[in-house]
Amino acid sequence: MMPSLPEQSPLGKASAYIDQYDASLLFPIPRAGKRAEIGVTGAAPFFGADLWTAFELSWLNLRGKPQVALAHFTVPCETPNIVESKSFKLYLNSFNNTRFADAAEVQARLRADISEAVWRGADRPATVGVRLLAPELFDQEPMHELDGLSLDRLDVECTHYHPAPELLTAAWDEPAVTEVLTSNLLKSNCLVTGQPDWGSVQIAYSGPQLGQEGLLQYLVSFRNHNEFHEQCVERIFMDIWTRCQPI
């Protein structure tokens, strides 16, 4: 089955709880449509990854005893598809009453299924990153902010709540810089349900220094925009790339 439209996903619909392993629950959504809207029709001119964390992963061992783990997933931006988030949750829930030999088998199954979904339709499919943490390692799991200088420290007036790339500026008449900027204020609305879709963003770049106040105002301008926040991040890159070129 090829990837379909977001409206055809289980998002916003009543869903039965399926507690037996079912890889078909994963619903891939093509990146191409949204990328075409921002002028990306071939290979993306950027690199990065979507990072997912599952705090509620469970399965049964061969004797029927429940097992639990935390899971981290890394999906490269080169994949032709993303996985719709509700379908991802339904898929993970399908492990709950399924028996596996050990955590390594679970990890291998997760890697194979998610890789197939996000690389579906690709000429040269690859794999995604999957890391499981056993309960005895939970205390070692770091919880910290994204590394970088927080734009959220700035006291700015915000009046735009739909994408406003005209707020972006770059200091081309000054020496180039290398820096990492972060913000926790990225919010858009789900493309299907209209509900809030929250995200944090980290921007690492080298070149003419970006105007930080305008950049923060620009990130805030996505607040009432209807788009998955993973796709907002790609739009953000392209807006910075195109708006901050020398005149």
Question: Can you tell me the distance from the alpha carbon of 241 to that of 40, in angstroms, rounded to the nearest whole number?
Answer: 12
Question: Can you tell me the distance from the alpha carbon of 158 to that of 240, in angstroms, rounded to the nearest whole number?
Answer: 19
190 catalytic? Reply is yes
77 catalytic? Reply is no
Nearest CA to 133 out of 125, 141, 122 is that of: 141
Q: Which residues lie across from 68 on neighbouring strands?
A: 58
Q: Which of 19, 77, 155, 190 is catalytic?
A: 190
> What does R_g of the chain's alpha carbons equal in angstroms?
20
CA distances from 133 to 94, 106, 143, 145, 189 (A): 19, 12, 14, 20, 31
Tokens of 69: 């783990």
Q: Is 59 helix (H, G, I), strand (E, B) or coil?
A: strand
146 DSSP 8-state letter: P
Q: Which of 197, 232, 239, 244 is catalytic?
A: 197
Give catalytic residues, as residue numbers: 190, 197
